[in-house]
Amino acid sequence: MSTRTSGCPERWPGLQFGQRPYRQAAWFYAEHRYRPGEAFFRLLATHLGWTDADRILDLGAGPAHVSLRLAPLVGEVVALEPEPAMLDEGRRRVRRAGGGDDTLRALLEWHIWFAVEHRELIVVQDRDWSSLPDDARERVRSLQRAYVELWVSSLRRVHRQLDEDHARTMAHAAFGLINSTPHSTFLDEPAMATLLEEMATGALGLA
């Protein structure tokens, strides 16, 4: 005669001291773990009004795959991660991240994409700005100011001699160039994007 016991499975006791289940996973996390794209982080920074005076704590940072995206948008990101192998992989990627102009190039790339793909929204803003309610207009202005300040801080990292007024003027001049897309129909979208990138890169001293 056989007997059978039933009931809940044995409860997992948790990690024991010295166990490192993620020790071999750092490279995979850095390469394949889902993370939002650059445009999301820039939108988040604009919405929350982040500046280079802000500091972010990335808790459970893994190999810093999110920290690296956030770092150009604020003054400092602190990556806190209990697995040493994850932090080592993050440090390797920080060293490979590139020069100070990476953020400015990313901002430029996104703005050109927006101006080419959504030129009708530029027209709507220019045409309907005066019809916005006062509170909505102030909200838009606040977001615009925060976005401009991302450009200002990025420009001043690349061109150390720039003061804020000159950097802000350069940013607005670049916006004027890129936001000209609704008034130009001579080139197809890929050619227009390439031309804008070449012109704006030169104007911003990134050539």
Residue 77, beta-bridge partner list: 56
**Residue 2 pLDDT greater than 70, yes or no:** no
Distance CA 102, CA 164 (A): 19
pLDDT in tens, 107-123: 888 899 889 988 888 88
Whole-model pTM above 0.85? no
Q: What is the pLDDT of residue 204?
A: 93
Distance CA 75, CA 155 (A): 14
pLDDT in tens, 48-60: 999 888 989 888 8
- The larger pLDDT score, comparing residue 166 to residue 131, is at 166
Average of pLDDT values for 65-79? 85
Q: What is the pLDDT of residue 7?
A: 60
- On average, the pLDDT of the chain sits at 82
pLDDT in tens, 11-50: 767 666 667 777 777 777 777 777 777 778 888 898 999 9
What is the helix (H) or strand (E) element at residue 55, kind and residue range?
strand 55-59
Average of pLDDT values for 85-105? 71
Distance CA 83, CA 18 (A): 11
Q: Which domains does the chain carry?
A: 26-95 (3.40.50.150), 102-203 (1.10.357.10)
